[in-house]
């Protein structure tokens, strides 16, 4: 794993940083998501294909919770180069999280 990727994951794991990133990217900088409304989602999941079990790991994922209700799942994936398969990988990550 690249050193840059480790640093990004470490920084994004902090709820205040994660909330700021999501608020800037999705809500034009307005504070809709607060750090105390975020909860960790396991970055690890698995799937079965071709009769074999495969592991997958996303960079950072958190649930946005209001009271007892989970509003959304937000995930961040850090890429330094274009990966045209990334949308398919994200579908797989999200599907595993919702199944869980």
- Residue 61: Cβ-neighbour burial (10 angstroms; 0-12, 13-18, 19+): buried
> Residue 36: what pLDDT?
96
pTM passes above 0.85: no
- For 25-81, what is each residue's pLDDT tens digit? 999 999 999 999 999 887 777 777 788 887 778 888 899 999 889 898 898 888 888
Sign of CA dihedral 84, 70, 98, 38: positive
> Residue 100: what pLDDT?
63
């Amino acid at each position: 794993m690249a050193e840059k990727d480790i640093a990004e994951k470490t920084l994004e794991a902090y709820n205040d940083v994660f909330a700021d990133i999501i608020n800037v990217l999705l809500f034009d900088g307005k504070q809709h998501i607060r750090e105390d409304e975020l909860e960790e989602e396991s970055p690890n999941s698995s799937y079965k294909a071709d009769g074999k079990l495969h592991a997958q790991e996303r960079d950072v994922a958190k649930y946005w919770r209001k009271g007892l209700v989970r509003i959304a799942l937000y995930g961040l994936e850090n890429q330094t180069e274009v990966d045209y398969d990334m949308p398919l990988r994200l579908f797989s990550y999200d599907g595993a999280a919702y199944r869980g």
